[in-house]
Amino acid sequence: MNPIRSIKGTHDILPVDSHNWQTLESIVRKICARFGYNEIRTPVFEETRLFSRSVGEETDIVSKEMYSWEDKDGTSLTLRPELTASVVRSFIQHNLGRQAPLQRLYYMGPLFRRERPQKGRQRQFHQFGIEAFGSENPEQDAEIIAIAWHILDECGLRKEAMLQLNSIGSPKCRLAYHDALKNYIRPNLDKFSETSRMRFEINPLRILDTKAEHEQKLLVGGPTVSDYYTDEDKVHFETLKKFLDAMNIPFNINSKLVRGLDYYSRTVFEFTSPALGAQDALLGGGRYDKLVEALGGKSTPGIGFAAGMERFLIAMKNTVQQSEESNIDVYFVCLDEAGLSTALSISNELRQAGYSLVSDPLRRSMKAQMREANKSGAKFALILGETEMETDSIVLKNLKDGKQEIIQQKNVKDELRKLTN
Ligand code: HAM
C-alpha cells in the first residue's frame, strides 16, 4: 500500500522549523501586549453565509476558494478562509461593544483557501492579525499600521518591507466613483474578462485589481477614486499620512490597491516584500466601518490587518539568525535496568524543580548514551550505574568542561542549583 501523504497545499511544521514559528508567535504576542491588544480565538469552521455576506459573493475567496460542505441538518458550513468575519461575528454575539467603547483584539491560527499552491501560497496557511473596534479616527488607523511596523521591525524585516497605502473612500464616495468608472469602462466592456464583467455589476472598484495586462491598459486614463473622496474622506486620509510621517513610517501611495475582499472602506494597506517573489504581500488590511452593521450588529467602525505567517518566515530566513541553542539542562544516563526506578524518581523531582531533563528509553550502552547526551546540547549529565546504586550516589558531569563529581542522590537538586545559579 502507498503510504498516505499530506493533502496538496498543506504542510507539516516539523521540529526543525517549529522553533522559528515559536519565535514569530512570541514576537507577535509581545508587540500586541505592548499595544494593549488581547487574544481572541474563534472556531475553525463557521456558517458559510458569514463569509459570503462579509467577504463578498463574487470575491475569489468566496466564489472559488472556500472549503464548504453541507452538515447533516442541511446547514452549509465552511472552513474559515479569513478571520475578520469570524471576529466580527464573535464581537456581535458576545456584545463586546457594550463592554467597552474600544475593543482591541489579536489572533493567530490556520485558514483554508483552495488556491493553486506555490511559494508563499498554501491551501492551509496561518495568519496572525489584529482588529480594533470602536474608533473611526485616523489615529486608530495609525496605531494598526504601527503594530504591523513594530512586528516587522522585531522580525528584522523593517528595511525590506514596503507599506503600500490607499484610501478607497467612504461608501458615499464609492457610489459616485462606481458610476464614473462604469461609464468609463462600458464602451469597452466586451474586451474585459468574465470575472471583470461580473465585478462591473457587483463591485466595479475591484476591476482595478485585475492582473490581465490588456485590462490594465484599458483602465489607464480612467477616473481615480481620489477624485471622488468626500471632504471627510480627504481629511481622514491626509491626517493618517501626517501621523505616519510623525512616526517615521515610510509609505507609498498606491491608487491601484483595492484589496480582494469587499468589506473595506477608506484606508487599505499592504506591506510587501521583494523576497517573496510573486506572492509578495506579507500582510494586508484596512478599515471596515460598515461590516459590524452588515452582519447584524450595532453600527461600529473597525480596522485591522492579517499577516501570512508562512510568508513572514520565508522573509525572516534571510534576516534573522536562527538560534540553535539547546534548552536541555540535564541528560540522565542510566546504565542498569535495576536503576530505572531511581532514575525516574530523580528525574521527576528535577523536572518539578523546573529543570528540563531527557533520558534514554532504549537502554543503550554507556558510550551510546553519552554520545546522545553531548548531541542533545544538555549542560549536565547524571550517570547512574551499579556502583552508584549500591552507595545511593550518582555522578554529576558538566558536559561543557568535562568535570565530574560523585554526589549523594538525595543532594542532586541542591548540587545542580549550586552549579546553575
Ligand atoms: P488577505 O489579504 O486575504 O486579508 O490575507 C492577509 C495575508 O494572509 C496576506 O497578505 C498573505 O500574507 C496571507 N495569505 C493569504 N492567502 C494566503 C495563502 N493562500 N497562503 C499563504 N498566505 C496567505 C485578510 O485575510 C483580511 N482578513 C485581513 C484583514 C484583517 N483586514 C482587516 N482585518
Tens digit of each residue's pLDDT (9 = 90 or more) over 10-27: 999 999 899 999 999 999
pLDDT at res. 418? 94
- 175 contacts: CB under 8 Å, gap ≥ 6: none
- Decide which of 319, 339, 374 is a domain's last residue: 319
d(CA 88, CA 84): 6
Ligand 1, residue 259: give the atom nearest the CA: 2
Is residue 287 domain-shared with residue 368, that is, in the same domain? no
- Decide which of 298, 319, 340 is a domain's last residue: 319
Ligand 1, residue 120: give the atom nearest the CA: 21
pLDDT digits (tens, 9 = 90+) for 252-311: 999 989 998 999 999 999 999 998 988 899 999 999 999 999 999 999 999 999 999 999
Q: Is the pLDDT of residue 228 over 80?
A: yes
pLDDT digits (tens, 9 = 90+) for 364-416: 999 999 999 999 999 999 999 999 999 999 999 999 999 999 999 999 999 99
Ligand 1, residue 84: give the atom nearest the CA: 27
Structural domain boundaries enclosing 352:
330-420
Is residue 65 domain-shared with residue 157, that is, in the same domain? yes
Is residue 87 domain-shared with residue 122, that is, in the same domain? yes
Q: Which parts of 170-292 are beta strand (E)?
A: 252-253, 267-272, 281-287
Is residue 299 domain-shared with residue 363, that is, in the same domain? no
Residue nearest to atom 30 of ligand 1 (CA): 305
Helix (H) or strand (E) holding 79, with range, is: strand 76-79
Residue nearest to atom 12 of ligand 1 (CA): 308
Asked whether residue 341 is domain-assigned, the answer is yes
Asked whether residue 22 is domain-assigned, the answer is yes
Ligand 1, residue 131: give the atom nearest the CA: 33
Mean pLDDT over each residue of the chain, to the nearest integer:
95
Ligand 1, CB cutoff 6 Å, lining residues:
82-84, 113, 115, 120-122, 125, 127, 129, 131, 260-261, 281-286, 304-308, 310-311
CATH number for the domain harbouring residue 397: 3.40.50.800
Q: What is the pTM of this model?
A: 0.93
pLDDT at res. 1? 86
- Decide which of 277, 298, 319 is a domain's last residue: 319
Residue nearest to atom 13 of ligand 1 (CA): 308
Is residue 164 domain-shared with residue 275, that is, in the same domain? yes
Asked whether residue 293 is domain-assigned, the answer is yes
**Cell digits of residue 355:** 529543570
Is residue 81 domain-shared with residue 53, that is, in the same domain? yes
Q: Is the pLDDT of residue 139 over 70?
A: yes
Is residue 137 domain-shared with residue 237, that is, in the same domain? yes
How many domains does the chain divide into?
Answer: 2
Q: Which long-range contacts (CB under 8 A, 24 or more apart) does 7-16 make?
A: 7/123, 7/124, 8/117, 8/123, 9/114, 9/115, 9/117, 9/122, 9/123, 9/124, 10/122, 10/123, 10/124, 11/122, 11/124, 11/310
pLDDT at res. 161? 96
d(CA 52, CA 50): 6
CATH number for the domain harbouring residue 137: 3.30.930.10
Ligand 1, residue 306: give the atom nearest the CA: 28
Ligand 1: distance of its center to the CA of 106 in Å?
14
Ligand 1: distance of its center to the CA of 282 in Å?
8
Q: Is the pLDDT of residue 225 over 80?
A: yes
Is residue 271 domain-shared with residue 344, that is, in the same domain? no
pLDDT band at 322 (very low <50, low <70, confident <90, very high): low
pLDDT digits (tens, 9 = 90+) for 325-361: 778 999 999 999 999 999 999 999 999 999 999 999 9
Ligand 1: distance of its center to the CA of 284 in Å?
6
pLDDT at res. 36? 98
Asked whether residue 238 is domain-assigned, the answer is yes
Is residue 259 domain-shared with residue 381, that is, in the same domain? no
Residue nearest to atom 31 of ligand 1 (CA): 285
Ligand 1 mutation pick, 104, 119, 127, 141, max ligand atoms within 8 A of CB: 127
Asked whether residue 364 is domain-assigned, the answer is yes
Q: Is 47 helix (H, G, I), strand (E, B) or coil?
A: strand
Is residue 312 domain-shared with residue 378, that is, in the same domain? no
Is residue 253 domain-shared with residue 380, that is, in the same domain? no
The residue type of 351 is R
Is residue 238 domain-shared with residue 374, that is, in the same domain? no
